[in-house]
Structure 1
């Protein structure tokens, strides 16, 4: 997960590994898709950044939504800078995505 600092401190994105962003697992830019989380939240997402493949996922209508979601899961206040130590304390440094179809995905950020 990546975060930004500054006026929009809650903005965040999910960096995709090269094997994923080079594949057709997620729809190509600029197509939107729905992500439902393991705790029943829902986001409209799309690929973004760098090249035509889109090397990360974000919430295009308000990129702070994803950041607020992760900070809440990590028990951090809005605007807090997310560190590796925060993720380690939570018990997870990655997310898993499951594809239902070309427009609907499930994101698992749960811990056992």
Structure 2
């Protein structure tokens, strides 16, 4: 997977590149022949270094499917394979993004436009050679919440509970599902090794708490979050399906809003 953010260092959108490739900053179009929709997705050198086969070579075409069921033929472009743009017409991708965030076609994209939409990045996943999936969904559900964790940079590790034999370490983020009245913590179980006098990771762990009482209702190791939630519902005789659960709206709570007794 690759996360591409539309903003650059400092939190602003780029003046003359990326999503605003067709613009001369806020002064209008770069050239009279441009429409303002010209755009590309930047691919950093680090991506190629860490995942050299994530993208094909420069000039090769790829098929990109989107979360809202659009399909684009794109091409790997520019020197060092540092961009992806729609094939034959680099205005198609820019027009698509502007339509999704509800601004006029060809308009200069600002940070406030992305903030109003609810997301400033996309996630590009490789499904197969030449086939990719682009996620730009702004509605958070149990089906896509993991996509949003990549957009949160201030993620620390805290201890959720601890005893003489084990501790559960989590990132300072949890998912709240109001319709089920639960908070879901994802982390890992760490066991104490007397030989090295330190903890070692034993397994992944999901902990489910009641929103009102903060009591632990259920825990499960080694399962995806959605499966653990399904098994929790089954344990309390709440009839539901994986599909129903995936459609539930939720919110990610960061450390600033964590309960003080954690």
TM-score computed with the length of structure 2 as normaliser: 0.40
Gaps of 5+ in 1: none
The residue that corresponds to 1:38 in the other structure is 67
Whole-angstrom CA distance in 2 between matches of 1:27 and 1:109: 22
The residue that corresponds to 1:105 in the other structure is 132
Q: Is the 8 A contact 1:95 1:108 kept in 2?
A: yes
| 4+ runs deviating over 3 angstroms | none
Gaps of 5+ in 2: 1-5, 7-17, 24-28, 141-262
Show the 5 A alignment for 1:1-112.
Answer: 1=6, 2=18, 3=20, 4-5=22-23, 6=29, 7-22=34-49, 23-49=52-78, 51=79, 53-111=80-138, 112=140
Question: Which of structures 1 and 2 has the larger relative contact order (alpha carbons within 8 angstroms, sep 6+)?
Answer: 1
Greater alpha carbon shift after TM alignment, 34-43 vs 23-32: 23-32
TM-score computed with the length of structure 1 as normaliser: 0.90
Q: Secondary structure at the match of 2:112?
A: helix
Q: What is the root-mean-square deviation of aligned Cα atoms in Å? A: 1.3
Give per-residue Cα distances to partners, 1:53-110, cap 9 Å, x unaligned. Answer: 2111101211110001000000011110011221122111111011111110000001
